[in-house]
Amino acid sequence: MTATSVLSYAIDLVAVLLLALGLKGLSKVRSARSANGLAALAMGLAVVGLLIQQQLSPQAWLWIAAGSAIGGLAGLLTAQRVPMTAMPETVALFNGCGGMASLLVAVAVALFQSGGAAAPDGALEGAADLVSLISIVISVFVGAITFSGSVVAMGKLQGWIATPAWTQSSLRHAVNITLAVTALVAGVLLIGDPAGLPLWLLVGASTLLGIGVTLPIGGADMPVVISLLNSYSGVAAAAAGFVVGSQLLIVAGAMVGAAGLILTQVMCTAMNRSLVSVLFGGALGASATGHVGGGGDEAGYTRITSCSAEECAMALETAERVVFVPGYGLAVAQAQHTLRELAKLLEANGAEVSYAIHPVAGRMPGHMNVLLAEADVPYEQLIEMDSINPEFPRTDVVIVLGANDVVNPDAKSDPTSPLFGMPVLEVDQARQVFVVKRSLGAGYAGIKNALFELPQTAMVFGDAKAVLAGLVGELRELGVGKKPAAV
């Protein structure tokens, strides 16, 4: 083994350790920022470790430099300009980019290391063993599904892509099974002819399968889809690692794939949905017109009580315990900083403030945690559903900000509800509930929310940021925040 090889393996080992530490750190809000930096450093070292082993021409270095510059600039601009409300779509797109990268690596190996045609013995000259050939098939298959599925998920979240009516029928199963069988046959044939027609048949069938599987899935299941696509991107990366012989890529892909799969299971449990029902059971919350959530019929409510910001502020003035329930409406209004300002006023008044976090609140796992962390909300105040539910009976005021299905009590009491069995935040047990929404529109599941008609619930209609700003103003007029905190 040469000195260059030893150095490369040492760099890879350090990169693997840094990546493991980075993934572990992402589980905590406090350490997430530095953990992300560690993971980025690990990937940078991985690139360095790979390049020092290669005997590259000046032209190759030029292509690498140009690609790195373009990709780095695109990532920088995206990170700076994408608002928090569009973060789920961005994550979906990044998952797709990971899948496409693995796909291109596998295709490149199949094409160029075989000289553009099958080798005499039916195997790749640069990847002669069966494991490498199977890895190419897996990388192409999973990478193509990840890319096309992620693009569809992003389009559905943005409201660009409708859910066609035929995808809600049994026809979609026949189409998807046909595509899956085609991809399987192409994968088997690819082993004998790596650079021929089977390769392109596998790419095409897998890409269409990703579209066919993701297109019927509705908005309520999008958090599960995003975490599952994240897992797919890790699997594709691990397969690409076998293709190019990169131990680091194998380890990194396996860790991402496992983490994504675990998170997917957590999301399914939080929604009382099985992964099979999400992928094959139809679209919870999907409509033929295509938009995911946020709309719905406003009719059917008969016992709605509404109030002004002034009345809500009067209740907050005397509250000893206040719980905020953030939802996607908070993100849309970009009201997290105003919410933090309101919370500080209440804390100065002696109130105990916390934030109830449902696992699938928002449009991706951890959406609300990231949103509130951006506003410097102490991570100790972010309380998960299982821990906060027993505390609601002793809570004076709950303010629901743009959340809907995750606080619907029908999930506990109505067996006919599509949400029945889904664990929800039991805000209906609190003494008083204020729901801040623009209208009575339905959530992702497209059904009424029984919480809105309870006697202890009052609707505060309006944009979340405007309502919260109004509450801050009213509380200041009442002198809240100027009083010494209760002992």
Distance between alpha carbon 93 and the CA centroid of its chain, in Å? 10
Task: Tell me how far apart the alpha carbons of residues 147 and 150 are, in angstroms, rounded to a whole number.
Answer: 5
Encoding tokens for residue 263? 């998170």
Residue-wise pLDDT tens digits, 24-58 = 887 776 788 889 899 889 888 888 887 887 777 88
Task: Tell me how far apart the alpha carbons of residues 38 and 15 are, in angstroms, rounded to a whole number.
Answer: 9
The catalytic residues are 405
- pLDDT of 12 > 60? The answer is yes
Query: Which phi and psi (to 5°) does residue 354 adopt?
Result: -145, 170
Distance between alpha carbon 187 and the CA centroid of its chain, in Å? 30
Percent with pLDDT over 90 in the chain: 38
Residues ≥6 apart with Cβ < 8 Å to 55:
none
- Identify the CATH number of the domain defined by range 309-477: 3.40.50.1220
Mean pLDDT of the chain: 84
Task: Tell me how far apart the alpha carbons of residues 306 and 452 are, in angstroms, rounded to a whole number.
Answer: 10
Residue in the structure block whose two tokens are 């999930």: 411
- pLDDT of 176 > 80? The answer is yes
Residue-wise pLDDT tens digits, 198-210 = 999 999 999 999 9
What local confidence, expressed as pLDDT, does residue 114 receive?
A: 60
What local confidence, expressed as pLDDT, does residue 361 receive?
A: 81
What local confidence, expressed as pLDDT, does residue 178 receive?
A: 94
- pLDDT of 183 > 60? The answer is yes
Residue-wise pLDDT tens digits, 76-126 = 888 888 877 777 888 888 899 999 999 999 999 888 866 544 443 433 444
What local confidence, expressed as pLDDT, does residue 462 receive?
A: 92
Q: What is the dihedral angle through the alpha carbons of 52, 56, 59, 65, rounded to the nearest 10 degrees?
A: -20
Residues ≥6 apart with Cβ < 8 Å to 63:
none
- pLDDT of 430 > 50? The answer is yes
Rounded to an integer, the average pLDDT of 417-436 is 91
Residues ≥6 apart with Cβ < 8 Å to 245:
none
What local confidence, expressed as pLDDT, does residue 292 receive?
A: 40
User: Is 282:216 a contact under the CB 8 Å cutoff?
Assistant: yes
Lowest mean pLDDT among 151-155, 170-174, 212-216, 237-241: 170-174
What local confidence, expressed as pLDDT, does residue 337 receive?
A: 93
Cβ of 256: how many Cβ atoms within 10 Å? 24
- pLDDT of 140 > 90? The answer is yes
